[in-house]
Amino acid sequence: MHFSLLASRVLLLSRAKRLDFIAHHFRPTGAEVRVLNRRHRLINLLAERLAEAMVLGNVACLLFVLPRFLTLSPATLTGLLLAAVFVRAPLKSLLDVFPRTQHASLSIERMREVGLEVFVETPAEAPALAASPEFRELVFDGVTFHYEKDHDQAGFAVGPFSLRLRAGEMVFVVGGNGAGKTTLAKLLCGLYAPAAGTVLLNGAVVDTDDERAALRELFAAVFAEDPLFSHVLGASPGALAARGGALLDELRLAAKVSLRGTEFSTTDLSQGQRRRLSLFDALLEDRPVLLLDEWAADQDPEFRQFFYERFLPGLRAQGKTIVVISHDDRYFPCADRVIRLDAGQIEPAAG
């Protein structure tokens, strides 16, 4: 399985998925990689020994053949040969240490950034997690975010954002390309830390990494570029048996996809169906807040109408708070509120 930065975002939002990924996917793959690395090292060792034999053969030639053509004292020739033989190995080992250490440190740091702790023993079965805390409201007061300069691209800032997201409401976030919609969404669910401003969750300030981690546990999210795993991460086969079939049917996927334990029968689907499967995975987490980034863009008109007019209102009736990034202005009346963004700013409400 290719573990990219896009996949890391999915895992960062869910501790249960991280534990499942480590126990059932990362560690088994790591075991296979270790076996292959041992074979690789053995082949390299044999190649190195062959190279050393060739070097020693050359040394013998130098020691016994070269004096026939050049006049060197035995002491000088012997000293040069001994220096060449004995300095080669430690010098090669010393030079090999630095790139390997740097590569290992960078790999470990990247894994820690997405919440995967390599050196902590992970149970074979993910422990049952406590239910997500109650979500009442999320308040942004003057929140801004800065993108740093990257190569030839100038840095820029979005915000300040001041808004209130209340439990049980459905909010659409709309605006043109580059308006800051996805950035606002990542700030809402704690994937980005604000550069300035105050975030309040249920009246308490969210400022530390642990507090942002708790905020992320409230959100189930599907972003535009999220990868699709071949397994349902963080869910037990029992829970899938109880809810999976009905949810696949509701998303009109039952004819295409079935569950084999926690594994999807196939992910060879159209783009719209793959997005539905990502939504299926997010809904199984049963988080109080659902965030969807341009989710309906790949759906056919019939399912898009069903999604906006029946599916989302059904989730809201169950008490879910829903944030939808959308360009489908035809369905804006389905929302309780529409937040419009332009050039990284929230436009004042009309009227």
pLDDT at 128: 44
Predicted confidence (pLDDT) per residue in 70-85, tens digit: 776 777 777 767 766 6
Q: Is the pTM of this model over 0.85?
A: no
Q: What mean pLDDT is predicted for residues 174-180? A: 88
Strand-strand pairing, 337-342 and 170-175: parallel
pLDDT at 3: 44
Least confident range of 147-161, 191-205, 282-296: 147-161
In percent, the amount of the chain with pLDDT more than 70 equals: 77
What is the residue-averaged pLDDT of the chain? 80
Cα separation, 83 vs 315, whole angstroms: 76
pLDDT at 127: 43
The number of residues in the chain equals 351
Inform me whether the pLDDT recorded for 324 exceeds 60.
yes
Predicted confidence (pLDDT) per residue in 217-232, tens digit: 999 999 877 888 887 8
Inform me whether the pLDDT recorded for 105 exceeds 80.
no
Q: Which two tokens stand for residue 80?
A: 């040069």
Q: Which residues pair with 198 in a beta bridge?
A: 141
Q: Which two tokens stand for residue 79?
A: 């000293």
Q: What mean pLDDT is predicted for residues 136-159? A: 83
Q: What is the DSSP letter of 194?
A: -
Inform me whether the pLDDT recorded for 350 exceeds 50.
yes
pLDDT at 304: 93
Inform me whether the pLDDT recorded for 338 exceeds 60.
yes
Say if CB 291 and CB 189 are below 8 A apart.
Answer: yes
If we measure between CA atoms, which residue out of 24, 201, 213, 219 comes closest to residue 114? 213
Give the alpha-carbon dihedral of 36, 40, 42, 46, to 10 degrees.
Answer: 160
Q: CATH code for 137-346?
A: 3.40.50.300
pLDDT at 7: 56
Domain residue limits, the chain: 5-113, 137-346
If we measure between CA atoms, which residue out of 70, 12, 3 comes closest to residue 33? 3
Give the alpha-carbon dihedral of 19, 222, 1, 270, to 10 degrees.
Answer: 150
